[in-house]
């Protein structure tokens, strides 16, 4: 099975404080991986290291078999940052189609104009996420759930093979969360896009993802398929003995 991400013996910290310690993680083509853990577990830091946004103190990171320092083909990699929706208010002047088309410029050239064929591609990905009727709307006038779908479309327009999402459902209502998780599942199963998602909702993680990585205190505690993860023991280590796991079953 093809490895898309390889993290080996990874250490990272600020000054003399160690944030991540001896992390080993593989992400395979077709995975739907959930990274879970309490606040302060350095989950977001790990993603930023994998994306080359931070530099490790020790260890190796590879994307598509290439050392992260040498990797250049970023069109194969998508990223939806934490709280991306909070960066847009109702007065933000960009339309939905303009936000999505931003990710086309690395291929067509920064100062080139968007042509009809490019705009067709924009609306193709907006249709995939169910937002093709909102292309002319201002991004700031959309709900949080709608904005997150637009950010997924912006990622899809560059045709990534893997998408990283950092707490994508924070601040979104329950119904929009369910729609969003269904969308990710379709991208993974139908479009064969590898998904890596950080989430605090362990109940959803157990139901949706194929594999899970559990982090605590900067360490990777468990990394396995969902059916083989002892969630009761893991949760006890995270939150104490009285913590219970509630698994949500959603009828569609």
Q: How does DSSP assign 37-60, residue by residue? A: --TTS-HHHHHHHHTTSS--SEEE
Distance from C-alpha of 177 to C-alpha of 248, rounded to nearest angstrom: 12
Distance from C-alpha of 37 to C-alpha of 229, rounded to nearest angstrom: 13
Given this model, what pLDDT does residue 39 score?
78
In terms of DSSP bridges, do strands 77-80 and 17-28 run parallel, antiparallel, or are they unpaired? unpaired
Q: Helix, strand or coil for residue 164?
A: strand
Per the confidence metrics, is the pTM higher than 0.75? Answer: yes
Phi, psi for residue 185 in degrees, rounded to 5: -65, -40
Distance from C-alpha of 20 to C-alpha of 192, rounded to nearest angstrom: 30
Given this model, what pLDDT does residue 83 score?
61
Domains of the chain with CATH codes: 3-239 (3.40.50.300)
Helix (H) / strand (E) containing 139 = none
Gyration radius (Cα) of the chain, Å: 19
Given this model, what pLDDT does residue 245 score?
44
Given this model, what pLDDT does residue 58 score?
94
Given this model, what pLDDT does residue 249 score?
45
pLDDT along the chain (252 residues), means of 10: 93 89 94 86 92 94 96 92 62 86 73 72 93 93 88 92 90 82 92 92 76 83 58 54 44 46
**DSSP structural state of residue 191:** S
Residue 71 burial class via C-beta count within 10 angstroms: exposed 0-12, middle 13-18, buried 19 and up: middle
């Amino acid at each position: 099975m093809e490895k898309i991400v390889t993290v080996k013996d990874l250490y990272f910290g600020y000054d003399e404080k160690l944030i991540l310690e001896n992390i080993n993680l593989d992400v395979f083509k077709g995975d739907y991986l959930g990274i879970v853990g309490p606040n302060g577990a350095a989950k977001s830091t790990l993603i930023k290291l994998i994306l080359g946004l931070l530099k490790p103190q020790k260890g190796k990171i590879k994307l598509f078999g290439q050392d992260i320092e040498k990797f250049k083909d970023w069109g194969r990699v998508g990223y939806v940052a934490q709280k991306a929706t909070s960066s847009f208010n109702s007065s933000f002047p960009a339309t939905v189609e303009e936000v999505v088309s931003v990710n086309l410029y690395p291929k067509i050239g920064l100062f080139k104009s968007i042509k009809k064929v490019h705009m067709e591609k924009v609306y193709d990905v907006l249709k995939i996420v169910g937002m093709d009727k909102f292309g002319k709307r201002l991004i700031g006038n959309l709900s949080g759930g709608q904005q997150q779908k637009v950010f997924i479309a912006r990622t899809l327009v560059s045709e990534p093979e893997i998408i990283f999402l950092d707490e994508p459902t924070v601040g979104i209502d329950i119904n929009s969360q369910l729609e969003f998780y269904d969308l990710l599942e379709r991208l993974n199963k139908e479009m064969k896009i590898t998904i890596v998602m950080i989430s605090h909702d362990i109940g959803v993680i157990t139901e949706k993802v194929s594999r899970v990585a559990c982090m605590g205190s900067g360490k990777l505690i468990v990394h396995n398929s969902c059916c083989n993860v002892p969630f009761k023991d893991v949760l006890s280590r995270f939150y104490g003995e009285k913590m219970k796991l509630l698994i949500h079953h959603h009828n569609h």
